[in-house]
Homo-oligomer: A and B are copies of this chain.
Amino acid sequence: MAWHHRHVAMTLAGRAETATQAKILRLLRDEGPKARVELGDRLGVSRTTIAAEVARLVDLGLAADAGPAASRGGRRSTLVDLAPQLRFVGIDTGATSIDVAITDGRLGVLSQLSEEHDIKVGPEKTLARALELTRKQLTELGIERPSGVGIGIPGPVDFHTGVPVSPPIMPGWDGYPVRDALARELGCPVLVDNDVNVMALGEQHAGVAKQAQDFLFVKIGTGIGCGIVVDGQLYRGVDGCAGDIGHIRVEEFGPTCACGNTGCLEAFFGGAALSRDATAAAHGGRSEILAAVLDERSALTAADVAAATAQGDAVSVQLVRDGGRRVGHVLASLVSFFNPGLIVIGGRVARLGHTLLAEIRSVVYRRSLPLATGNLPIVMTEMGDSAGVVGSARLISDGVYAAD
C-alpha cells in the first residue's frame, strides 16, 4: 500500500523502512513468530540480509526476539516475533453505533467497548466520544501511545487525505479532517476508510474470507454497501466510492430514496426501510406481533422483525423474503460482472439470519452464470461486532507494516 500525502503525524512512530522489513512484519502478523532462516526462505532473501533487517526492526521497536525455535537438527535458532508492546486502535463508527477495540501487533483484540451512537451528532462529538472510549481502554491496559489508529466511517472517504466526501447520512462531516484530528489527539499514525471497506478487511484478516483473494463483503445495516477485494487488495474505485450498491435500481418504481431516485435497493431494504415497513404493518393492523412490540416504543427495528420472524409472523417473514430477493438480484448482477470467489454477508440487518440468506442464495444461484456460481459460497459473517474494529486495526497495520 502506498502511503500518500504523508503528514506530520505519520512520522511520529516507527514504521518499516524497506520492502523486506514490510514483508517480514506482515508475515509475522499473519502467521506468527518465525525463525530467521524461515523468514529468509519465505522471502527469498539471504540470511545476512534477514539478520540485518530484523536487527533494524528491533531497533525501531517493531520486532523482538521470542525464545528458541523448535530444533531443525542444527544449531537452535531464535524466533522473531512482532514487538510485544505494539498496540493498534480499531474504531468502527456506523450510523447508529460506535465500537472501539485495542489490539496487539497481530490484531488480536485485547479490549473492546461498544455503544449506541447517532452519527448525525456530527464529527466533533463523535470523535470526542471515540477518543474517550479509546483513552479509557489505553489507560486500563497501561498504554501510553498506540502504534496507530484505524477508523471506519459510514460514508465515502478520500482515502489519501482521510477526509469524508459528501457522506449522505452524516451531516456536518463533509470535508472534516478526521485523520488529522485523531492523529493530533493520539500522537500516532491514523488511516480512515469507509466502514464497509474496513469490515471487508476484518473478514480478510480473521473471518471466513481469510483464504479468499477476490471476494465481496456485503453490509446490510441502516444502508447497504459492499467492500470489494481484488487480488487480496481493497478496490476503492477512482473516486473512492466503489461498492455503493445501495443505490442500484432493483425496480422501476418504488419508495423515494434518500438519494432522490426511486427503485434503489436501499429504499426497499436495509435497516431504515425495514423499520419503516414493519412500523407501517403494525399501524395498519397487519401484524399483531409487531403491533404488540410497537405499543412499547415509537418505532420498530430490524431486531424486532428478526424476533417476529422467529415467532412465525407472516408479515415479517414476507418483509425478509422480499428484501432477500432484491438483495439477491443485485448480487446476481455483481456475480455476473465480477465473478468473485466468495460473498460474505454482514451488518446488523444480516442478523435476520437463515430466511434472508436462503432467499439471497436462491436468487443468485438461479440468476448467475453456472460457471460463476459453481463454486461460489455465499455465507454469513461469523465475526459479529468485531469485523469493523479488527478491519480498522488491519488498515492501520498495513500502513505501519509498509515502506513507502
- Residue on B with the closest CB to A212? B238
Complex interface bits, A230-244 against B, C-beta within 8 A gives 1, otherwise 0: 100001111111111
Majority DSSP secondary structure for residues of A touching B: loop
CB distance from A113 to the nearest CB of B (A): 32
Chain B residues with CB under 8 A of A244: 336-337, 339, 369, 372
Question: Counting CB contacts under 8 A, is A156 at the interface?
Answer: yes
- Number of identical monomers bound together in the oligomeric complex: 2
A146 at the binding interface (Cβ < 8 Å): no
- Give, as a whole number of angstroms, the nearest-CB distance from A86 to chain B: 30
Q: A230-B235, A369-B241, A369-B259 are in contact. Are A337 and B375 (CB under 8 A)?
A: no
Q: Mark A368-383, 1 if CB is under 8 A from B, else 0.
A: 1111101100000000
Which A236-265 residues have a C-beta within 8 angstroms of B? 236-245, 247-249, 259, 261
Interface size on A, residues (CB 8 A): 44
**Cβ-defined contact, B259 with A333, below 8 A:** no
Q: Which residues of chain B are near A166, meaning CB under 8 Å?
A: 370-371
A336-368 to B contact mask, C-beta < 8 Å, 1/0: 111111000000000000000000000000111
A332 proximity list for chain B (CB < 8 A) = 248-249
A333–B336 touching, CB < 8 Å: no
Q: Which of B241, B370, B372 sits near A372, CB closer than 8 Å?
A: B241
How far is it, in angstroms, between the C-alpha of A371 and the C-alpha of B332 when the chains are bound? Answer: 24
Q: Cα distance A239–B340 when bound, in Å?
A: 8
Closest B residue to A329 by CB, please name it. Answer: B249
- A208 → B minimal CB distance (Å): 15
Contact across chains for B341 and A372 when beta carbons are under 8 A apart: no
The residues of B that contact A238 with a CB separation of less than 8 Å are 213-214, 339-341
Are A242 and B371 CB-contacts (below 8 A) given A235-B230, A329-B249, A332-B249?
A: no
- In the bound complex, residues from chain B placing their C-beta under 8 Å from that of A236 are 339
* Minimum CB–CB distance for A193 against chain B, Å: 14
Known: A332-B248, A369-B259, A371-B165. A337 touches B239 (CB 8 A): no
Q: Could you tell me which A residues sit within 8 Å of B by CB distance?
A: 156, 165-166, 213-214, 226, 228, 230, 235-245, 247-249, 259, 261, 329-330, 332-334, 336-341, 366-372, 374-375
What 9 A-B pairs have minimum CB-CB distances, sorted nearest first?
A: A237-B339, A242-B339, A238-B341, A248-B333, A241-B371, A244-B336, A241-B339, A214-B238, A244-B369
